[in-house]
């Protein structure tokens, strides 16, 4: 009797698995059907259906017969619209629709109550239906490279959203209810049409990643300090002229990209970013580096290309973690003596500066792998001397 009972349980196992929602790891262990013909032979057995890159112009008829499908990939086809039948797949958790030609979604998409991740990038969507926001189980929403002009007013209903990728759209504001998305950890909203930093983001205090690059904001509000969990902040390609002192409150920040703005200086509070590992301020108008800068003991990469830097802090040599420095296209004439104590330095770009002499001390940087000295007018004889200075640096590439 025990053997018979075990046989019954084992024989029912596939059915039991289909009857419940699986974890992503369990889904990955299921058979992947890549042919609609094969999948149609036993539609109730299909948990993973991958119809990506099949040149489909329409979703296969009677798609709702795959009642147990939990992962459906229809990406990289030529779909323009979705049938209502697709929204009857009540167990669907992962839906990939990227790289199609979708121009709209039916309101009934909100019926997919178990959907956890929805991938819609590289389509032609201009708006989302109100029913979209009843996808309250969604944790990851991918809408980058569409034509969205606005988001639904009721987006705040999507309480479980953790990642929202809205990169490259036509958004100029966020709905008021966006501030109710208090579980968001990552928002990618770069390459849109914002002229003002949206205050709704300040309520998303679980944010660790915020990409707000390539917009048109002129001012970063003091309230940025409220996002104290931020680890990655991207504000490149905006119109910022100055930064608030409150930026220094972001003590967990690891990477800060402020490149291609109109900054004249960095605030003294930059030195309070004690976790910072990468700083990019390329293509600004910065003329001085604040003394507090050398407090950034964890900094590994500093990019100051194409600014107006004339000098560096005398104690920059204390920043022993630095391994990547770009100072090209600055009117810099001299490196402080302590600079040559940066023993971890692997990449150094001094091209297009006003440095007229490379001192023998550069030989102390024996871990250098890349050194750019282009446009400094260095003669052949000087090149031989510099190579001798750097004789201890193995496999170094020097650009003149």
CA distance 160 to 136: 6
* pLDDT of res. 30: 98
Residues 293 and 356 in one domain: no
Query: What residues contact 294, with CB distance under 8 A and at least 6 apart?
Result: 271, 313, 315, 316, 318, 319
Residues 103 and 221 in one domain: yes
Q: What is the residue range of 394's domain?
A: 319-400
CATH code, domain carrying 343: 3.80.10.10
- As a whole number of Å, the end-to-end CA separation of the chain is 84
pLDDT tens, position by position, for the chain (400 residues)?
454 454 444 444 455 455 699 999 999 999 999 999 999 999 999 999 999 999 999 999 999 999 999 999 999 999 999 999 999 999 999 999 999 999 999 999 999 999 999 999 999 999 999 899 999 999 999 999 999 999 999 999 999 999 999 999 999 999 999 999 999 999 999 999 999 999 999 999 999 999 999 999 999 999 999 999 999 999 999 999 999 999 999 999 999 999 999 999 999 999 999 999 999 999 999 999 999 999 999 999 999 999 999 999 999 999 999 999 999 999 999 999 999 999 999 999 999 999 999 999 999 999 999 999 999 999 999 999 999 999 999 999 999 9
CA distance 128 to 145: 14
Residues 107 and 180 in one domain: yes
**Torsion angle of the four alpha carbons 337, 339, 345, 350, in this order, in degrees rounded to the nearest 10:** -100
CA distance 96 to 90: 16
Phi and psi torsions of 380, nearest 5°: -60, -40
Residues 264 and 328 in one domain: no
Give the CA distances from residue 338 to residues 91, 185, 341, in Å, rounded to whole numbers and listed in that order.
63, 40, 5
Residues 93 and 240 in one domain: yes
277, 299, 318: which is the final residue of a domain?
318
Residues 164 and 264 in one domain: yes
CA distance 243 to 237: 14
Q: For residue 158, is it within any domain?
A: yes
Residues 170 and 189 in one domain: yes
Among 350, 359, 309, which Cα is nearest to 326's? 350
Residues 347 and 227 in one domain: no
Q: For residue 8, is it within any domain?
A: no
Q: For residue 15, is it within any domain?
A: no
Residues 370 and 303 in one domain: no
Q: For residue 18, is it within any domain?
A: no
Q: For residue 336, is it within any domain?
A: yes
Q: For residue 3, is it within any domain?
A: no
Residues 210 and 358 in one domain: no
299, 318, 337: which is the final residue of a domain?
318
Residues 195 and 232 in one domain: yes
257, 284, 318: which is the final residue of a domain?
318
How many domains does one find in the chain? 2
Q: What is the 3-state secondary structure (H, E, C) of the chain?
A: CHHHHHHHHHHHHHHHHHHCCCCHHHHHCCCEECCHHHHHHCHHHCCEEECCCCCCCCCCCCHHHCCCCCEEECCCCCCCCCCHHHHHCCCCCEEECCCCCCCCCCHHHHHCCCCCEEECCCCCCCCCCHHHHHCCCCCEEECCCCCCCCCCCCHHHCCCCCEEECCCCCCCCCCHHHHHCCCCCEEECCCCCCCCCCHHHHHCCCCCEEECCCCCCCCCCHHHHHCCCCCEEECCCCCCCCCCHHHHHCCCCCEEECCCCCCCCCCHHHHHCCCCCEEECCCCCCCCCCHHHHHCCCCCEEECCCCCCCCCCCCHHHCCCCCEEECCCCCCCCCCHHHHHCCCCCEEECCCCCCCCCCHHHHHCCCCCEEECCCCCCCHHHHHHHHHHCCCCCCCEEEC
pTM: 0.94
Among 294, 293, 300, which Cα is nearest to 278's? 300
Q: For residue 229, is it within any domain?
A: yes
Residues 357 and 272 in one domain: no
CB contact at 8 A, 285 and 264 = yes
């Amino acid at each position: 009797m025990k053997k018979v009972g075990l046989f019954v349980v084992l024989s029912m196992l596939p059915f039991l698995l289909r009857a419940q929602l699986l974890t992503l790891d369990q889904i990955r262990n299921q058979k992947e059907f890549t042919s609609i013909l094969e999948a149609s032979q036993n539609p109730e057995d299909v948990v993973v259906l991958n119809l990506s890159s099949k040149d489909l112009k329409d979703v296969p008829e009677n798609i709702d017969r795959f009642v147990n499908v939990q992962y459906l990939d229809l990406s990289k086809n030529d779909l323009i619209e979705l049938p209502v039948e697709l929204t009857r797949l009540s167990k669907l958790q992962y839906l990939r629709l990227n790289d199609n030609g979708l121009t709209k979604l039916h309101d009934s998409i909100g019926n997919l109550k178990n959907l956890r991740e929805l991938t819609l990038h590289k389509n032609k969507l201009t708006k989302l239906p109100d029913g979209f926001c009843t996808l309250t189980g969604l944790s990851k929403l991918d809408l980058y490279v569409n034509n969205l002009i606005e988001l639904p007013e009721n987006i705040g209903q999507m309480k479980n959203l953790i990642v929202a990728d809205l990169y490259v759209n036509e958004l100029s504001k966020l709905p008021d209810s966006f501030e109710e998305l208090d579980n968001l950890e990552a928002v990618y909203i770069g390459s849109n049409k914002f002229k003002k930093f949206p205050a709704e983001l300040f309520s998303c205090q679980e944010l660790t990643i915020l990409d707000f690059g390539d917009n048109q904001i002129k001012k970063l509000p003091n309230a940025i300090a409220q996002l104290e969990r931020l680890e990655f902040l991207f504000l490149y390609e905006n119109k910022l002229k100055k930064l608030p002192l409150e930026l220094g409150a972001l003590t967990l920040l690891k990477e800060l990209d402020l490149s291609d703005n109109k900054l004249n200086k960095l605030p003294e509070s930059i030195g309070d970013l004690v976790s910072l590992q990468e700083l990019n301020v390329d293509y600004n108008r910065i003329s001085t580096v604040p003394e507090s800068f050398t407090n950034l003991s964890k900094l590994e990469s500093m990019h100051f290309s194409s600014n107006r830097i004339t000098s560096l802090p005398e104690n920059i040599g204390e920043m022993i973690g630095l391994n990547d420095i770009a100072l090209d296209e600055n009117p810099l004439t001299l490196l402080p003596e302590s600079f040559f104590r940066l023993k971890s330095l692997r990449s150094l770009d001094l091209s297009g500066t006003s440095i007229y002499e490379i001192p023998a001390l550069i030989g102390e940087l024996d871990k250098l792998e890349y050194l750019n000295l282009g446009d400094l007018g260095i003669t052949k004889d000087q090149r031989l001397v510099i190579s001798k200075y750097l004789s201890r640096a193995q496999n170094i590439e020097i650009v003149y």
